[in-house]
Structure 1
């Protein structure tokens, strides 16, 4: 019994140390820039400047299958799957949209890379674009994402905006900040674009 307790304690300490190391290492990952304009206990309103995005699309309409499929393609690109065999640093978050018609995933390219300076992908299904600056309202949730949690938080965000009298300018999309091997302190968000006029109203709340 004594050895079992010691083993459990050692495993717990190793797990805690490993997750702390992962969290510390991920803190060094570049995060897409934004400015917080307003927030309450549930919602956060933000301004996002332009960003360069690498995007893939597919026919999968659920979170699990589309995330696995698309992530492999985009990860392959930044890990050297391009004409210059260039490694590109991973950033966060990963953006995803999905509905009955299909799905889309985007990686945000590092802020020091410009659209016309990106190496051409080996996979021609990857497309590049520069997003427009936008105003966004987001809601955060923890743990592991799945279709049910994404729908619940999307519905909650839509209902919150309706209560505030804010007209959405986009469908909800998902943003994930953590790799699969991070087991604690996971961050997930659902976001919706809003107009500049409505953002001025939100500031006054």
Structure 2
């Protein structure tokens, strides 16, 4: 069972330049500003424009589809990732999101600005008990034009990840999500798969596709990874999502 205690909430960060905006009771938008008192109109524009309508996503084909889930096969792809051990999904997510955001804004060895992509995924590996810390790994998809030579991160806590071709069980749902909703939808996906035993049960992924300012037709997904297809390779570590 995943060890979580709170839903998405306002999280205070120690950096004076990290600003927050409450979007709904489930979601707080975080944005990076040059000053502590940036006008709300400029802040709104920065966050709203973060996700383009033509945002790039990883390529996949659909192998099986029904009302409850899809079985997809993704092509190999490269991602930039960060990892945190935490009791809560929301706190871990806000920390890692800004590490990765700074990477695509030029905090890499090439000082290269990289377009935002979707989905933003979170690999969730539950801890050993109810008072545990869970291991969360957030990833941004690297645009395909950079796959041959992606810029290496400057920050030690950010790393490049390669996903080989693999199959994934996917459950989609709409609306704003939070920890309780992610867990509920993961349970529904598990139930819909019945007696199938060909996927990993010790971790799962969440995937979000939308700007926090998008109110309608939001797209969220739960991913279960088919076994023997998810061996990842990092720059200096071949174990899955470890640094």
TM-score bracket for the superposition, by shorter chain length: 0.7 to 0.9
Following superposition, which runs of at least 4 residues in structure 1 exceed 6 angstroms of deviation? none
- 1:37-186 equivalences in 2 (<5 Å): 37-98=63-124, 99-100=126-127, 101-114=134-147, 117-161=149-193, 163-169=194-200, 171-186=203-218
Look up the SS of the partner of 1:107 in the other structure: strand
Higher alpha-carbon deviation: 89-98 or 118-127? 118-127
Q: Distance in 1 between matches of 2:158 and 2:87?
A: 18
| Structure 1 position 120, deviation (Å) | 2.5
Structure 2 unmatched runs, 5+ = 1-47, 128-133, 229-243
Q: Distance in 1 between matches of 2:170 and 2:144?
A: 22
Q: Distance in 2 between matches of 1:33 and 1:149?
A: 26
Structure 1 unmatched runs, 5+ = 1-21, 197-205
The superposition leaves residues 110-166 of structure 1 with CA deviations (integer Å, 9 ceiling, x where unpaired) of 012125x222222111111211211111001111111101100111111221x2534
| CA RMSD, 1 decimal | 2.2
Look up the SS of the partner of 1:29 in the other structure: coil
Question: Whose helix proportion is higher, 1 or 2?
Answer: 1
The superposition leaves residues 4-46 of structure 1 with CA deviations (integer Å, 9 ceiling, x where unpaired) of xxxxxxxxxxxxxxxxxx79x7331111111111211121110
Q: Distance in 1 between matches of 2:175 and 2:137?
A: 22
1:61/1:103 contact within 8 Å kept: no
What corresponds to 1:202 in structure 2? Answer: none
Name which one, 1 or 2, has greater alpha-carbon Rg: 1
1:195–1:103 distance in 2 versus 1, CA, 3 Å: closer
How many residues get paired? Answer: 173
1:142/1:187 contact within 8 Å kept: yes
What corresponds to 1:35 in structure 2? Answer: 61
| Structure 1 position 106, deviation (Å) | 0.7
2:152/2:160 contact within 8 Å kept: no
- 1:6-25 equivalences in 2 (<5 Å): none
